[in-house]
Structure 1
Amino acid sequence: MTKILIIDDEGGHRLMVRAVMTDAGYDVDEAESGEDGLALIDNALPPDVVLLDIHLPGMDGMETLRAIRKRNDALPVVMLTAYGSVGSAVEAMKHGAFDYLTKPTDNDELLAVVNKAREYGRLLAENRSLRQQLSDRAGPPRLIGDSPSMREVRELINQVGPTEASVLILGESGTGKELVAEGLHAVSLRSNNPLIKVNCAALPAELLESELFGYVKGAFTGAVRDKPGRFQLAHEGTLFLDEIGEMPVALQAKLLRAIQERVVEPLGSVRPVETDVRILAATNRNLYHEIQAGRFREDLYFRLNVLEISIPPLRDRLDDLPLLVGFLLEKLGNKNRKAVRGVTPAFLDALSHYHWPGNVRELENVLERALILSRSDSIGPESLPPHIHAANTVPHSSLPASSFPSAIEEESGEASLDEAERQAILAALKRTGGHRERTATALGISRRTLQYKLKKFGLAKRRTGE
């Protein structure tokens, strides 16, 4: 049902507008000040059209209009004004109002303008949705990398995304778990409907419960109106539960019931609400250890982990560094209004010898710092922070952004680095009797990365002790 929000301090006029709108089949919310109107927009399902009086106590109509535009620039706002203030209403239209009506409003004119505003909002939302779909169909957003591990992640997204299965996304902080969730939603059959995100680590247990399941008016002090939860907002779409390992055990039981029975009970309500959502969850924790420690429910784990996607840490896919550097520098250059022609091979070499505990998120921060501090159009290692700055500062010719993928290969010491890496792998294989799992652990890399290195150095056919 289409929802109309009336923001007007004149109770009699609100009553008249409510009667006209209700008779026409609209759902109506009311507020008598700009502050109350914004609270309704923030705390409930957004209205489809706003009727806004230009003269309000406290925050006036123009100020309220600007605040609405910041929250939702697609929400149609119709200004209400007295005859003597038509000029102000016209000025409001220049700042984004859809139309204006003079008070007292004519019922037929009111309905006609509201119908036009509703249709305008619908068409604008549909247009934006179509453009987003075209963008999404191009592939999972911003998953940069051509290493075997990242190709595998993209293949899994395209294979798993169109299904209805719950997916558990695993990876260290900063590896891009949210991007994988966005990619899964983008290629799913639910992509026309919302992707709602909840960071389970960002809220205390009481607030997290109300965010997930919502509440009804009077459920607790301060609950002055009904508020739908994230499950309801994600209806027929996707719900992404980030940092699921941080969720308190007591709340995990309620989440499990909501997933199993496909219903939620808002706080203070005795009437269950049916929901249809696909669940995606992510964590940087080892949930097996959390289960053994009694901090995570085993039954919830199996509900969430129908399929699993593991994102490799940056240190295990250093071959992707040139692509990542090129992509991120272009993005950061646009953000900071500063263009660069490229980076020096020494710069890439310095990056490749760092462990990257913060993964791609840390890389982005380091690159932004280097971009801002660089005094030339080709960034060198002198712009790196002390903990990454390479000891070898032999000058190299700078590279254009288009040649990033070949940057490391042009380093004069590449062959010796490869040989040192090959010898280290051979020594570890000898120590572990050729057992690949133990070899990967000893080297501090994943088994997948070890397999890639074995192929790279022609060691894949070497017999192991497995």
Structure 2
Amino acid sequence: MPSQAISLLASEKNGKDWMDSVLPVLWEGLCTELGFSAGVVVLKAEGEDSFYESASFGYGEDGFYYSFLNRGSLHWEELMHSPEPVFFTGAEFELFGKKTNAAAIRISSGRGAVGFLLVELEESLTIPAGIFLSLFAEKIGNAWGRTRTGLNVPEASRDENSHSLYRKEIPNLDLAQQEFVKQKILTILGPPGSGKKTLAKWIHQSQFPGAPFLVVESLPEHFGKLEKALSAWGAELEQGSLVLAGIQTLNLGQQQILSDWWSKSGYSGSLFLLGSEETNQEILPEFERFLRKNSLVLPSLRFLSKVKLQSLVQVIFEELSGSQNRSGLQLADQSLQELVSRPYAENFADLRNAILTGILTCRTSRVEPADLEPGKSKMDLEIPDAEDLDLRRGTEALERQKILLAMRIFSGNQIRMAKALGISRGSLQYKMKQLGLM
């Protein structure tokens, strides 16, 4: 085993300090010493379930992505469960070099695999080099394990979630729920993004668990089609709940048909009417009475006290961090103050988008203010509810999440991002501009 290669392992640093400052330099020297043409170290990130490139050698500025080692693939599973090196021939797999083969070794810590190292070489891997790489993988695994002791683990559980905290600020909610049980109708008014659909779904599930729940975003303007649609929805739902959004936009004819259908059709289910308090449409007196049978007005986030908004931001941050497999992530105090001080025209939608942006773009263990604004234009990050039929918005939201994740994994390298995402660099740049990410 080369003595110079052995000396490269000598360092007084350990744990995260060794991983951040020593490993990248050490890996380059090691690959050079052992005559490898290229190589990469991929490790699991702290406090989450994602993998990142921790060190690389020989790929140039554009880098390279081994698509056959996509997480969850057959070759990934083989590598993650193999105690021995796994070999990939250049004739069978897409490698960086034109005349190279590759050898990959699993990196383990504790009970499971936490990553791998891969090298490309023109000749076969010699036994001494293989032994040395195995020892090096073991050293990386030990250092990775020591980083876990310094993680700030959030509370294991909370009695309240973001929605329950916000519901406490809704005036007369208990009374409206009691009336809903009797009348089976509830009008929920409020500014955009204030959680009208979420509240309707929560009330529905608390009163009719397991019953159908249908959200309709727009009604047919043709009166005959509207009557048929209401009849069809009523027959489909039976004892479920029909949710009609955007009621402030209904014309006089639609208002009349809807109120008549409710009073005369014999529909046995429940009805939620969602909309804004403000409307430019003329309202029929009987339709206004129909809306006021049982109604709630949701408050805007700007009316919450600073203390309550801070608590809400913290809970949403923990919920979204968990959903993105980044439960060890922290929110910097300056980021918290930044989020609390912002105006939110879209209320919950804007707030959750800002927090999720920070989580997806953050490349360290703490979300800083710079992470909260990666792009110049607004775009919903969240995947819409299952009841939301807006396919375009759902597709854009998913694309943006995947691109932001690729940005974090590959530090913004567009060629490597495009390879991982399975699209051309030109398509990636077009999508990034379209989604406000560049």
TM-score scaled by length of structure 1 = 0.41
